Amino acid sequence: MASRGNAIARATFESRVPPFYYRPSASDCPLLREQWIRAKYERQEFAHPERQEPYSAGYREGFLWKRGRDNGQFLSRKFVLTEREGALKYFNRSDAKEPKAVMKIEHLNATFQPAKIGHPHGLQVTYLKDNSTRNIFVYHEDGKEMVDWFNALRAARFHYLQVAFPGASNADLVPKLSRNYLQEGYMEKTGPKTEGFRKRWFTMDDRRLMYFKDPLDAFARGEVFIGSRESGYTVLDGLPPSTQGHHWPHGITIVTPERRFLLACETESEQRAWMEALRKVVDRPMLPQEYAVEAHFKHKP
């Protein structure tokens, strides 16, 4: 760096970064930041495109430690990513003919969650199953392997979106490849028919507000679609005066066209963070395809 200067060094070491490759920021987990530096300087992957094969080939298979849905144990499972089939699959046995699950690239997301999973290389993969969100939690002991899987998933998403939106630029597509959650944490909630508040783990994933009994549950207990202000959605500070049964003092009321959702946070700072995240979504106009998602939520049994 001292001999070449930053601009020249970047032109050399970042000359061939694929558009889908995740460029970490200071807020990302240590694994992503470390592997970016190693890929750039140590392995010089972005100066030699032939070294990008692990995440650029359109096909990848290998073994990852996957958390069991019922017992919580991590077991070695074979995973296969195939862009030709537009899917990520995993198999309960290495010699199994049929996969245990097929995750369509179209609806797939991956985000590193080391604290939640309890491993520095922990990755949470979500996909839609019968239009409900399903979580799987995986890791690999080798940090490079895990980041290669992550970027292979982003590459598959990128190539899928290039076909789905042929006129879109890379700048339009790259933000859609993977997303971090807008907000996560515990809140208390009450159902429409009960007065009692229960503590639940909440995840805000774009316009889906999901709640789980445990942060590592495979399926959400429930999902709430958060639309835009123009469509009748509002986020209010506090709870209605008659509300009873909540232990935590800092309330949030989400108003949808169908009903109100009453939530309570333990601290004022958590309430502010949730209010900010929810209001950002409500203030954003809805895209045409989001109206179809909203309609499905309205017709859920």
Token output for 163: 């076909």
Q: What is the mean pLDDT of residues 237-251?
A: 91
Rounded to two decimals, the pTM is: 0.89
Answer for the pair 110, 22: CB distance below 8 angstroms, yes or no: no
Q: What is the pLDDT of residues 175-184, one digit of tens each?
A: 999 999 999 9
HEC string of 164-222 equals HCCCCCHHHHHHHCCCCCCEEEEEEEECCCCCCEEEEEEEEECCEEEEECCCCCCECCE
Token output for 161: 């979106």
What pLDDT score was predicted for residue 291? 87
Whether the per-residue pLDDT at 7 is higher than 70: the answer is no
Q: What is the pLDDT of residues 165-220, one digit of tens each?
A: 999 999 999 999 999 999 999 999 997 666 689 999 999 999 999 999 999 999 99
37 contacts: CB under 8 Å, gap ≥ 6:
none
| 3-class DSSP state of 226 | coil
Q: Using alpha carbons, select from 213, 223, 261 the residue that is nearest to residue 132.
A: 223
Whether the per-residue pLDDT at 301 is higher than 60: the answer is no
Q: What is the pLDDT of residues 93-120, one digit of tens each?
A: 888 999 999 999 999 999 999 999 999 9
What pLDDT score was predicted for residue 177? 96
User: For the chain, how many residues are written?
Assistant: 301
Measured CA to CA, the distance from residue 81 to residue 159 in angstroms comes to 13
Q: What is the DSSP string of 8-49?
A: HHHHHHTTT--TTS----TTS-HHHHHHHHIIIIIS-TTT-G
What pLDDT score was predicted for residue 224? 94
